[in-house]
């Protein structure tokens, strides 16, 4: 047999081997196909537990979440497999620092999630929770559970949520509610950090649109470097209300800007009311006194009107009022005045009371009375009742020096005081005269007795000589 030639037997042998190899390959191929079909059938019969489902947290609002505020979470559900998943339930489980909102539904059911339902076709579910005020700044976890219908299978996946502290300031106190026109008045605002994160670079300002209330010695803006948690800062101003302002309530617009630790600028705008007006003051002076009638001038010297003004003379030492003790004036605008009259009598006694008066000599007593004659009248006490512009009733007390001129009653009182003093002098002199007369009588009696005794002795001597 030549080289290159193959016998028929050999060819048959080789062909048989090829056929066997082909059969083997065919069997292997069939086996692989059967296995594939079995796998596909098994995949088609899979439960949702093994379905190719994917859930991701795609958004939180706000980001980061703020302690003490509401947070919205959005989850995207996708099916990356070729078989639909049905009756899938998802439940959000809020744990600290997240708090469930009352009446909020935290369990959602997805009826069908089709094969390869992805991207724009994916299902979005939303949940809202509260962030606890005591939440710590940083990353916090929240769980989403997955339930499969017809089984007890549950899976839970945790998702990271960024939380920042509460950055919140509050203007909680304005120390004045009333301003008096024309008067410089200190006014302060207290700003408190009521959140749980520090505040920095705060700018506070206020304004009153009508220009009735304005700051003096400074503008209306103040700067604060920072305020720690729970701390307060007091901002002080000196303000003046226009002296010609109409009495009433004025609105202050308050504005506060501050920067959070995350670099975001926040702004708070609020309002406060301040009343311009209030009480006033009076000046009372003696006008005249004639025939028992004393007139007083009452002037409103303050910057506010006074309503329902009544002038009264209360009971007091040194004076007596005959007839009515009060006079109704009515209203007195600022700068106005009126005259009121009363029947006032100066009462004698007690004006020059002095513990040593009775021990003074006559000259000292006269000098004492003369030196106190101009002071013998006590200042007259006058009460003024009025209602201020806020509706509050006030009483103002004034002391008015009174000088009675050509008043017979006062002259009589003065004469009576001098008569009493003169009577005291006369009684003293009478006492001295009585003592002197008694002394003279005693001396005369003694002299007469001695003379009579001397005469008796002379007569005795003469009778003895005769004998």
Query: Secondary structure of the chain in the HEC alphabet?
Result: CCCCCCCHHHHHHHHHHHHHHHHHHHHHHHHHHHHHHHHHHHHHCCCHHHCCEEEEEEEEECCCEECCCEEEEEEEEEECCCCCEEEEEEEEECCCCEEECCCCCCEEEEEEECCCCCHHHCEEEEEEEEECCCCCCEEEEEEEEEEECCCCCEEEEEEEEEEECCCCEEEEEECCCEECCCCEEEEEEEEEECCCCCEEEEEEEEECCCCCEEEECCCCEEEEEEECCCCEEEEEEEEEECCCCCCEEEEEEEEEEEECCCCCEEEEEEEEEEEECCCCCEEEEEEEEECCEEEEEEEECCCCCEEEEEEECCCECCEEEECCCEEEEEEECCCCEEEEEEEEEECCCCCCCCCCHHHCCHHHHHHHHHHHHHHCCCCEEEEEEEECCCCCEEEEEEEECCCCCCCHHHHHHHHHHHHHHHHHHHHHHHHHHHHHHHHHHHHHHHHHHHHHHHHHHHHHHHHHHHC
At residue 363, does pLDDT exceed 80?
A: no
Say whether 169-276 and 48-164 share the same fold: yes
Q: What is the pLDDT of residue 27?
A: 60
> Where do the structural domains in the chain lie, given as residue ranges?
48-164, 169-276, 282-413
- 134, 154 contact by CB (below 8 A): no
State the pLDDT confidence band at 63, using cuts at 50, 70 and 90. Answer: confident
Q: What is the pLDDT of residue 324?
A: 92
Question: What percentage of residues in the chain have a pLDDT greater than 90?
Answer: 38
The mean pLDDT value of the chain amounts to: 78
Q: What is the pLDDT of residue 407?
A: 42
Average pLDDT of span 317-345: 92
Tokens 């002037």, residue located: 299
**60/292: higher pLDDT:** 60
Q: What is the pLDDT of residue 283?
A: 95
| CATH hierarchy code of domain 169-276 | 2.60.40.10
pLDDT (tens digit per residue) in 123-136: 999 999 999 877 87
How far is Cα 11 from Cα 1, in angstroms, rounded to an integer?
A: 14
At residue 310, does pLDDT exceed 60?
A: yes
- 148, 48 contact by CB (below 8 A): yes
Q: What is the pLDDT of residue 167?
A: 66
Average pLDDT of span 111-140: 89
pLDDT (tens digit per residue) in 384-439: 999 998 889 999 999 999 876 544 444 444 444 444 444 444 454 556 677 777 77
**36/142: higher pLDDT:** 142
State the pLDDT confidence band at 264, using cuts at 50, 70 and 90. Answer: confident
Q: What is the pLDDT of residue 329?
A: 94
- Of these ranges, 21-25, 26-30, 152-156, 362-366, the one predicted with the greatest mean pLDDT is 152-156
Average pLDDT of span 436-449: 74
At residue 204, does pLDDT exceed 90?
A: yes
Q: What is the pLDDT of residue 97?
A: 92
CATH top class, domain 48-164: mainly beta
At residue 138, does pLDDT exceed 80?
A: yes
Query: Which CATH code, of 1.20.140, 2.60.40, 1.20.120, 1.20.1280, is assigned to 282-413?
Result: 2.60.40
At residue 37, does pLDDT exceed 90?
A: no
At residue 229, does pLDDT exceed 60?
A: yes
Q: Which residues contact 134 (CB under 8 A, 6 or more apart)?
A: 67, 97, 196
Beta strands 178-179 and 265-276, pairing class: parallel
At residue 33, does pLDDT exceed 90?
A: no
Q: What is the pLDDT of residue 455?
A: 60
| Backbone φ and ψ of 256, nearest 5° | -135, 125
- 83, 53 contact by CB (below 8 A): no
At residue 190, does pLDDT exceed 80?
A: yes
Question: What percentage of residues in the chain have a pLDDT greater than 70?
Answer: 69
Average pLDDT of span 93-110: 93
- The token pair that represents 107 in the structure block: 């369990």
**435/221: higher pLDDT:** 221
- Of these ranges, 77-81, 224-228, 308-312, 319-323, the one predicted with the greatest mean pLDDT is 308-312
Judged by phi (left if over 0) then psi (alpha if -120 to 50, else beta), residue 183 lies in beta
State the pLDDT confidence band at 309, using cuts at 50, 70 and 90. Answer: very high
pLDDT (tens digit per residue) in 237-248: 999 999 888 888
Average pLDDT of span 35-42: 40
Q: What is the pLDDT of residue 445?
A: 74
Q: What is the pLDDT of residue 66?
A: 82
Compute CA distances 113 → 42, 107, 465, whole Å: 19, 17, 182
Closest CA to 193 of 162, 238, 225: 225
How far is Cα 312 from Cα 322, in angstroms, rounded to an integer?
A: 13
Tokens 């992805």, residue located: 118
């Amino acid at each position: 047999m030549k080289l290159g030639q193959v016998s028929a037997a050999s060819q048959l042998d080789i062909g048989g081997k090829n056929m066997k190899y082909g059969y083997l390959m065919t069997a292997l191929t069939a086996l692989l196909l059967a296995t594939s079909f079995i796998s596909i059938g098994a995949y088609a019969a899979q439960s949702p537990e093994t379905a190719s489902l994917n859930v991701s947290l795609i958004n939180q609002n706000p980001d980061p979440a703020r302690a003490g505020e509401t947070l919205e979470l959005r989850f995207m559900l996708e099916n990356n497999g070729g078989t639909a998943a049905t009756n899938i339930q998802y439940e959000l489980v809020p744990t600290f620092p997240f708090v469930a909102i009352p009446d909020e539904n935290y369990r959602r059911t997805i009826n069908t999630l089709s094969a390869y339902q992805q991207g724009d076709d994916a299902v979005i579910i939303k949940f809202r929770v509260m962030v606890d005020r005591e939440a710590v700044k940083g990353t916090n976890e929240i769980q989403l559970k997955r339930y499969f219908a017809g089984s007890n299978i549950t899976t839970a996946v945790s998702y990271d949520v960024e939380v920042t502290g509460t950055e919140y300031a509050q203007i909680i106190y304005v120390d004045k509610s009333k301003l008096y026109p024309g008067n410089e008045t200190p006014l302060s605002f207290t700003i408190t950090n009521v959140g749980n994160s520090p505040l920095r670079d705060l700018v506070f300002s206020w304004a009153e649109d009508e220009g009735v209330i304005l700051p003096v010695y400074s503008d209306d803006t103040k700067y604060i470097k920072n305020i720690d948690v729970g701390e307060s800062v007091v901002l002080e101003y000196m303000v003046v209300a226009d002296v010609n302002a109409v009495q009433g309530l004025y609105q202050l617009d308050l504005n506060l800007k501050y920067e959070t630790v995350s670099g975001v600028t926040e702004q708070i705008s609020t309002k406060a009311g301040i009343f311009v007006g209030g009480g006033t003051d009076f000046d009372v002076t003696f006008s005249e006194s004639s025939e028992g009638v004393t007139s007083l001038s009452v002037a409103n010297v303050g910057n506010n009107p006074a309503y329902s003004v009544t002038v009264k003379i209360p009971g007091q030492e040194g004076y007596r009022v005959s007839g009515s003790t009060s006079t109704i004036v009515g209203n007195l605008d600022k700068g106005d005045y009126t005259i009121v009259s009363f029947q006032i009598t100066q009462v004698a006694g007690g004006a020059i009371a002095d513990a040593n008066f009775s021990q003074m000599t006559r000259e000292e007593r006269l000098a004492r009375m003369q030196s106190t004659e101009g002071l013998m009248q006590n200042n007259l006490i006058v009460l003024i009742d009025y209602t201020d512009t806020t509706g509050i009733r006030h009483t103002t007390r004034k002391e008015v020096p009174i000088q009675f001129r050509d008043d017979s009653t006062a002259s009589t009182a003065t004469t009576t005081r001098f008569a009493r003093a003169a009577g005291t002098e006369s009684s003293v002199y009478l006492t001295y005269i009585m003592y002197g007369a008694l002394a003279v009588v005693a001396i005369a009696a003694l002299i007469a007795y001695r003379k009579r005794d001397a005469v008796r002795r002379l007569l005795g001597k003469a009778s003895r000589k005769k004998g």
